[in-house]
Amino acid sequence: MGEPLLLVRDLCIRHRSSGRQILDHVSFELQRGECLGLLGPSGAGKSTLARALLRLLPPALWEVTGSIHLNGFNLLTAPEGEMRRFRGARITLVGQEPELALNPVLTVGTQIEEVLRAHFPLTANQRRQQAEEALAAVGLPDPRFFRAPIQELSGGERQRVVLAQALAVRPALLILDEPTSAVDTITQAEVLELLKKLRDSLELALLFITHNPALLSGFTQRALLLHDGRAQHVEPFGAALENS
């Protein structure tokens, strides 16, 4: 096995005003094309860890120590200008509420093109082509989706659009923070099946954050269980179901 894509060592996160230690010396790694489950109850620090990977924790409020490397790039010490170029291009986040990530007054195609414009010097035709390819990759190939406003889409279709935004930049690592919590059970199954196909076809590295270990069945044999700020590596994955 080669060098890991993501390497996290002794990550500690403390809330400055309360003094609460959210994460205490958490270490893990993630290979290219691999999915790692991140499990834990509400308040365990799962989303805080995700924001730390993207360096979205304001230093005035949070003390973050340790090291985070993606492809050898130090995410904690890089200048903010470099981090802005890296964030959203090489490492992207899909959150729980697609409505919060989408602009209700813009069409689907425009919103995906805006993400591409922020990161790549593409022509208008190139942006449109990559946006259409991203929509096709998430199962929305019909041109009507490109032109549609968000209000015309179902919850499952909106979640697919958010995935298309993330995939359009062709990231190395996709962080999924409870990506099915805002959809019904049938749509949840459809989104999970789509994620499996995308993981396999694009060789994406996935960090799948959830409080429900059953959602990870069929995704991975490895999981990281967060509890009281500590991380327990669980392998094989069946042990995570027993301990969660």
Give the domain range for residue 136.
103-170
In-domain check, residue 84: no
Q: What is the rounded distance in angstroms from the CA atom of residue 120 to the CA atom of residue 109?
A: 16
pLDDT value, residue 212: 82
DSSP-assigned letters across all residues of 75-121: TTTS-HHHHHHHBTTTEEEE-S-HHHHS-TTSBHHHHHHHHHHHH--
Helix axes 185-202, 155-168, angle to 10 degrees: 20
CA distances from 50 to 23, 55, 69, 71, 117 (A): 12, 9, 14, 17, 24
Closest CA to 199 of 173, 234, 222, 181: 173
Q: Is residue 194 a contact partner of residue 10, using CB atoms and an 8 Å limit?
A: no
What is the dihedral sign for C-alpha 66, 35, 73, 113?
Answer: negative
Residue 134, token pair as written in the block: 């991203």
Residue 116, token pair as written in the block: 């591409």
Q: What is the rounded distance in angstroms from the CA atom of residue 24 to the CA atom of residue 29?
A: 16
Q: What is the rounded distance in angstroms from the CA atom of residue 208 to the CA atom of residue 39?
A: 8
From first to last of the 244 residues of the chain, give the pLDDT tens digit. 678 999 999 999 999 999 999 999 999 999 988 899 999 888 899 999 999 999 999 999 999 999 999 988 899 998 988 888 888 788 999 877 777 778 888 999 999 999 999 888 999 999 999 999 999 988 899 999 999 998 899 888 888 899 899 989 889 999 998 877 766 677 777 778 888 888 888 888 999 998 888 888 777 778 999 988 899 887 655 544 444 4
Q: What are phi and psi of 9, to 5 degrees?
A: -130, 125
In-domain check, residue 112: yes
In-domain check, residue 90: no
pLDDT value, residue 244: 46
Using DSSP's 3-state secondary structure scheme, residue 27 falls into strand
Q: What is the rounded distance in angstroms from the CA atom of residue 179 to the CA atom of residue 159?
A: 8
Q: How many domains does the chain have?
A: 1
pLDDT value, residue 241: 47
In-domain check, residue 113: yes
In-domain check, residue 139: yes
pLDDT value, residue 183: 64
In-domain check, residue 161: yes
In-domain check, residue 209: no
Q: Tally the C-alpha atoms within 13 A of residue 243's C-alpha that lie toward its C-beta.
A: 17
pLDDT value, residue 202: 81
DSSP-assigned letters across all residues of 205-219: EEEEEES-GGGGTTT
The whole-angstrom distance between residue 126's C-alpha and the CA centroid of its chain comes to 25
In-domain check, residue 21: no
